[in-house]
Amino acid sequence: MTSSNHKPLRPMAITMGDAAGIGPEIIAKAFQDSPQDCLGCFVVGDVPTLRRAAAVVAQGGICLPVLELSAAQDALHVPPRCLPVLPVYSGEQAAVPPVAFGQLSAHAGQMAGDCVAWAARAALRGEVSALVTAPLNKAALSMAGGWLTSFPGHTEMLQALAAEHAHTPVAQMPVRMMLANDELRVVLVSIHVALREALAAVTFENVLQTLLITHRSLSAVLGRSPSIGVAGLNPHAGEGGLFGREEIEVILPAVHAARAQGVQVSEPIAPDTVFMRARSQPGRPGEFDVVVAMYHDQGLIPVKYLGVDKGVNVTLGLALVRTSPDHGTAFDIAGTAQADAASLVQAIRMARQLCG
């Protein structure tokens, strides 16, 4: 099966996420309510868990049929409103019943991690077109032990797997997190670290690397060089050094170095205004295509304020396409059919866009 330009079609993998959370439910809901968006997709996960999720979403009505796949390529032949699952476990491991809703579980953490590892390696081998990850729980991941305890989240795990595939040290496989919706895109200099560590991570090298990764990644998506706005670290972007000198001594030199390499980037802008300037609204495009923020909450608060249901998490800098909904496992509503699949559907759509 090939497309019109003779490129082989490849399926898209969606990882199950933490089985105790809403990941399986939003996946079942997406396949039930947005079947055209999910064509050619399959779930890397646990068949009993996905069957339970399909039953929850059905709410006593007709249950979405779950089809167990033997190979990823089989997903290309699955009809709409059918939930194809490629199990990560077999034999005795597959006989373990689904974990309880809303409870931390080492087994759920292990399954979530194994799903990501399988799908990432398949993407790196070129067997799937993209990877969409349902939410995992960082505490459950740590409880699983072994290699999974090294990772505070998806981004760091994918970085390690990509480095392993390329036979290169992790330090030589830089990645960045981008959060995006219809109105705003934000890329972060640092991700899941304590605030003190995040401030220390605002170095010339890290800021320049972020600008270059953002430029390369967005150029591929937009088909042109993106306009990048840079958030200052301090109030009023330091006010000329009165409130801190990071803008003068660190961020601005990185901006100048990026400009020397052809990057279209602003000087540091006060962080309380740069996101408003970049926000795109109907009839009023934003001043910037993307904002580079200096740390996690500085960038994610404005994106999430605009609506968690619209946000998509994208990993930049890897030799694979990875997107994810912009929310967590929501243990408090798992199993209640209240979870909204809108962000997952947006993540699937953006993954297709990034695949070209």
CATH number where 73 lies: 3.40.718.10
- Does 344 share its domain with 323? yes
- Does 72 share its domain with 89? yes
Q: Is residue 44 part of a domain?
A: yes
Stretch 103-112: mean pLDDT, rounded?
A: 94
Closest CA to 347 of 308, 313, 321: 313
- Does 21 share its domain with 170? yes
- Does 191 share its domain with 241? yes
Stretch 108-122: mean pLDDT, rounded?
A: 95
The C-alpha angle with vertex 214 and arms to 211 and 217, in degrees rounded to 5, equals 150
pLDDT at 191: 86
Lookup result for tokens 């495009």: 285
DSSP secondary structure letters along 7-44: PBP--EEEE---TTSSHHHHHHHHHHH-HHHHTTEEEE
- Does 256 share its domain with 354? no
pLDDT at 223: 87
353 pLDDT above the threshold of 80: yes
Q: Is residue 322 part of a domain?
A: yes
- 222, 290 contact by CB (below 8 A): no
Q: Is residue 313 part of a domain?
A: no
Q: Is residue 282 part of a domain?
A: yes
Alpha helices, DSSP H, located in the chain: 23-33, 35-38, 47-58, 106-124, 138-143, 154-166, 195-200, 204-222, 246, 252-260, 274-278, 296-305, 342-355
Q: What is the pTM of this model?
A: 0.86
Q: What is the pLDDT of residues 176-210, one digit of tens each?
A: 999 988 899 999 999 888 999 999 999 999 999 99
Q: Is residue 312 part of a domain?
A: no
Please give the Cα distance from 296 to 236 (Å, whole number).
Answer: 19
Stretch 269-278: mean pLDDT, rounded?
A: 96
- Does 326 share its domain with 244? no
What value does the mean pLDDT of the chain take? 91
- Does 267 share its domain with 324? no
User: Which residue, of 285, 306, 327, is where some domain finishes?
Assistant: 306
7 pLDDT above the threshold of 60: no
Structural domain for 342, as ranges: 1-174+318-356
Q: Is residue 97 part of a domain?
A: yes
Stretch 146-151: mean pLDDT, rounded?
A: 87
- Does 79 share its domain with 215? no
DSSP designation for 3: -
Q: What is the pLDDT of residues 303-317, one digit of tens each?
A: 988 876 678 999 999
pLDDT at 91: 60
- Does 154 share its domain with 239? no
Please give the Cα distance from 219 to 199 (Å, whole number).
Answer: 28
Is the Cα torsion angle 211, 212, 214, 219 positive or negative in sign? positive
- Does 62 share its domain with 151? yes
- 27, 53 contact by CB (below 8 A): yes
Q: How many domains does the chain have?
A: 2
b/e burial code for range 81-97 (CB count within 10 A of at least 16 → b): eebbbbbbbeeeeeeee
User: Which residue, of 267, 286, 306, is where some domain finishes?
Assistant: 306
Q: Is residue 311 part of a domain?
A: no
Cβ-based neighbours of 303, under 8 Å, separated by 6 or more: 179, 180, 181, 184, 186, 311, 326
- Does 162 share its domain with 64? yes
- Does 200 share its domain with 281? yes
DSSP secondary structure letters along 155-177: HHHHHHHHHHHHT--GGGS--EE
Q: Is residue 327 part of a domain?
A: yes
